[in-house]
Chains A and B, each alone.
Chain A
């Protein structure tokens, strides 16, 4: 794999270009993904690997109790929990093997918060003190430390880069109209009630009666989570008509809001909910509905 170091590149624009190149490149390598978990000293040379545990299916309740439910909602296969040591920094890695790349991005998207990004990392990631979250193909990774220091974080970044090089994972691509930049930022991917409650509670009343869907939701007015561009794909088309009806009702019952609705195929809907007073700032999103 060709490594492109971005530490010296500060502009977001440039970073985006490189990420796009990388995403295009990794798409060619989907079939070449290597499953490297559980990690071994062969996979990450120079590291000491200790204490491997594995939980699969509902066994996740044994590991994280009620915290398991949201993983099961997204579609969970197994998790390897390991401790690795490098240069006196002890890291814990939770490698969640999810049902698919959407599930991996989904649980990542509702878990990240006020992320620091590192230009050296070319996968979706979120760095905060004590923890790095990332998506590698079908895997959601949590690398955590007990120090909260820059040195420990850097150690985690190094580990993540090494794993990524071995795995050569496919990167998650959000569906149209969402961009790579959206996926890097505040886009949430949700597959059920728990995801809604954790990732986009402002939509929970609207969507709580549905199951078997994939929702992408993006806040469109800064941090205000009640203004959203969303795309939902149901497993059956009856729900599409039902939700269109509910969105129309929402418009009737909330005159301070404007709701735009567009069917996308037989089972999908793209919709935009904005406050009337925010009409100017949300103009680019309204263009998506200009044929309505």
Chain B
């Protein structure tokens, strides 16, 4: 979906809003309890979250077809010789998809979320490098099963923020023939971030019609700017999600971030916008939740497959070998908040077992609660329906 399907571009939307044309219609949305609360009301920097909530939800909007449902597929032998085993991972995904959807065939399960006409983006997470990237075995299994369901290969795209990180971790067109691999931030063959016209390649990849505004500024030096694309108070959405894909399958890797996790919401939020460096300190949780409330993400992400074959329980989101664990699990769901909540439990149990912490830190779950308030999914553990499959 893109902005045209909403019948309104962002610019025309704000022109109308400024003229008072739809202000009245929005006010009822904004006054619902717990709805789109500006962080400023909690003493934090202000953001434009209310803009996001003004957009009508669609049938595909988060939390998707199965709110509050998570399938956890464990496989004791999914790692062989220190590598994920392709057959085992494919079977985990197959069983998980059928369990999640209740479909009578694997193809039918996938076709609940995508169709052959869709351009499908697989949002992976390679940022921690080779040792802690979304596993290739899982991505290959997704591609293979999509093809079995009739999705043309050239409708599938693998993407993340930094194209060069994808390449460094093996997401290359050589390893994935016929699949487009792309990122928002790009370098050319000479390692330059700038094209012959003097513009950042990343500048051409951002869509200035869609942005997350936050009252936080970080001025980047010349060296840092190519990694952020722009400075100032605006973080623009990547054209990859606003223009180049119709559906997104989110494939994060199970990692901690302090006592919290970086999983579905973080992978989407920080992976889809520019100028993220400024958002870490004061608005980490808000960014994770609020960016996902904007239509380019909220209405396009149809499925989340959290890769917990390997993950980390401390030192994340970077890869520190001493904290990498073989969780040997996949978490599937259309509801990214519920998947994050269950993933959080997996990491928390490991952290407690390893003596990193002694108990749950509720504040570490704030971003999930924020996402729940925004209507993106279910964060309350008792309201999440978890189906656990144990394979051997």
Q: Which residues of A contact B (CB under 8 A)?
A: 55-59, 61-62, 64-67, 69, 111-115, 126, 128-131, 144, 146, 148, 194, 197-198, 201-202, 204-205, 208, 223-226
Contact = CB atoms under 8 A, between A and B. Distances in A.
Contacts of A131: 320-322
B258 A57 contact: no
Given A62-B223, A66-B257, A225-B356, A146 B361 contact: no
Nearest to B364: A197
A128 B322 contact: yes
Interface of B: 82, 127-128, 130-131, 218, 220-221, 223-224, 226-228, 257-260, 262, 270, 276-277, 280-281, 314-318, 320-323, 354-358, 361, 363-364
A146 B170 CA distance: 15
A66 B364 CA distance: 16
A197 B258 contact: yes
B224 A204 contact: no
B262 to A, nearest CB: 7
Contacts of A114: 322
A129 B321 contact: yes
Dominant SS among interface residues on chain B: loop
Nearest to B227: A62
Given A66-B280, A146-B130, A224 B218 contact: no
Ordered nearest first, which 9 A-B pairs have the shortest CB separation? A197-B258, A67-B318, A62-B227, A223-B355, A130-B321, A113-B322, A201-B357, A128-B322, A59-B223
A171 B373 CA distance: 50
B280 A69 contact: yes
A61 B277 contact: yes
Given A67-B128, A112-B322, 5 more contacts: A62-B227, A66-B262, A129-B321, A144-B321, A197-B260
Nearest to A196: B258
User: Which of A65, A69, A113, A128 gathers most chain B CB within 10 Å?
Assistant: A65
Nearest to A198: B258
Contacts of A197: 257-260, 364
Contacts of A58: 218, 220-221, 224, 277
A104 to B, nearest CB: 16
Contacts of A62: 223-224, 226-227
Contacts of B323: 113
Contacts of A113: 314-315, 320, 322-323, 354
User: Which of B127, B227, B361 gathers most chain A CB within 10 Å?
Assistant: B227
Contacts of A144: 321
Contact of B355 (A112, A148, A225): A225
B124 to A, nearest CB: 14
Contacts of A205: 361, 363
Contact of B321 (A56, A67, A69, A128): A128
Contacts of B262: 66
26 contacts: A55-B223, A58-B220, A61-B276, A62-B223, A62-B226, A62-B227, A64-B318, A65-B270, A66-B262, A66-B280, A67-B128, A69-B281, A113-B314, A130-B131, A148-B321, A197-B258, A197-B260, A197-B364, A198-B258, A201-B357, A201-B361, A204-B363, A223-B355, A225-B355, A225-B358, A226-B358
A61 B314 contact: no
Nearest to B226: A62
Contacts of A56: 223
A198 B315 contact: yes
Nearest to A61: B277
A234 to B, nearest CB: 20
Contacts of B320: 111, 113, 131
Contacts of B223: 55-57, 59, 62
Nearest to B313: A113
Nearest to A142: B320
B321 A204 contact: no
A66 B322 contact: no
A202 B361 CA distance: 9
Given A65-B127, A131-B321, A194 B258 contact: yes
A282 to B, nearest CB: 16
Contacts of B280: 66, 69
A79 B313 CA distance: 25
A202 B357 contact: yes
